[in-house]
């Protein structure tokens, strides 16, 4: 399920999140919605993690 992970990583990058913080585990969910919930909880988690995960406007 690495395929989903690579697309997700690109998506997060484009949306302005640091893909380094993404973990493979959420990308393995089969269903779209479970997957989507996965993204939310994941992003919520990573945004709590670091001091400023938001990319500075370049």
Partner 1 sequence: MVKRIALAQLTSCWGCDQSLLDLHLKLLDVLPSLDIVYWPAVVDFKVADLESMSNHSIHFGFVEGSCRTKEDVHLLKLMRQKSKILVAWGSCSVYGGVQGLGNQWELKDLLERKFLKADTITEGRIPDENLPGFTEHITPNPDIVDFDAILPGCPPTSENTAEALTALITSKSYDLPDKTVCDQCPKERKEKKIKKFYRTHQGHIDQNKCLLDQGYLCLGFATIGLCGAQCPTVNAPCKGCFGPPPSIKDHGAKIISALGAVADMPPEELERAFPDPLGSFYFTDYASSYLSKIRGKQRSKKTK
Query: Which residues form the interface with partner 1 (CB under 8 A)?
Result: 1-12, 14-17, 27, 29-33, 35-37, 39-40, 43-44, 47, 54, 57
User: How many Cα atoms within 13 Å fall on the side-chain side of residue 11?
Assistant: 11
Nearer to partner 1, 1 or 49 (CB): 1
Distance CA 12, CA 8 (A): 6
Nearer to partner 1, 6 or 49 (CB): 6
Nearer to partner 1, 15 or 49 (CB): 15
Given a contact cutoff of 8 angstroms between Cβ atoms, the answer to whether 41 and 10 are in contact is no
């Amino acid at each position: 399920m690495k395929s989903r992970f690579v697309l997700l990583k690109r998506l997060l990058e484009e949306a302005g999140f640091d893909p380094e913080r993404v973990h493979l585990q959420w990308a393995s969910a089969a269903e779209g919605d479970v997957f989507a919930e996965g993204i939310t909880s994941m992003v919520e988690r990573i945004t709590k993690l670091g001091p400023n995960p938001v990319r500075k406007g370049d």
